[in-house]
């Protein structure tokens, strides 16, 4: 919907766009937190698994979601944003997160 500007289900063209989906922060009664693409525990308590920075949390939250909701039928699409940390995490921990590249190879074997 974001690219075509048209709903796939009802052909509507009016959308509610939420640039950063949020959810309740389960450690607080009155705070919300971004709905993250990837949440992971850290290797070492108090140290960020991706950047190595010291932190007070025992979890790493990476990436964000943007939502597009059709006002005609309610059909919703989610788009992931801020994926740099997710990619770094995937390279560092391939057993936990993998990047699947479906692009054809640029050069193939020759016989």
Q: What is the mean pLDDT of residues 14-25?
A: 91
23 domain-assigned: yes
> What end-to-end distance do the CA atoms of the chain give, in Å?
44
- Please state the domain count of the chain: 1
* Alpha helices, H only, the chain: 84-92
74 occurs within a structural domain? yes
Strand partners, 4: none
Whether residue 100 lies inside any domain: the answer is no
pLDDT at 46: 47
**pLDDT tens, 40-74?**
775 544 455 555 554 545 667 899 999 999 999 99
Q: What is the pLDDT of the chain when averaged over all its residues? A: 83
> pLDDT-derived band of residue 75, with 50, 70 and 90 as boundaries?
very high
Residue ranges making up the domain that contains 22: 15-34+63-92
Residue 103 within any structural domain of the chain: no
**Contacts (Cβ under 8 Å, ≥6 apart) of 108:** none
What is the pLDDT, as a whole number, of residue 54? 47
pTM: 0.67
């Amino acid at each position: 919907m974001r690219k075509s500007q048209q709903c796939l289900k009802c052909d509507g063209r009016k959308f509610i766009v939420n640039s950063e989906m949020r959810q309740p922060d389960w450690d607080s009664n009155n705070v919300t937190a971004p709905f993250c693409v990837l949440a992971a525990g850290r290797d070492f308590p108090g140290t960020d698994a991706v950047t190595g920075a010291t932190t007070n949390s025992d979890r790493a939250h990476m990436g964000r979601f943007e939502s597009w909701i059709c006002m005609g039928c309610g059909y919703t699409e989610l788009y992931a944003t801020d994926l740099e940390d997710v990619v770094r995490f995937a390279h560092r921990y391939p057993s936990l997160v993998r990047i699947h590249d479906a692009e054809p190879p640029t050069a193939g074997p020759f016989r």
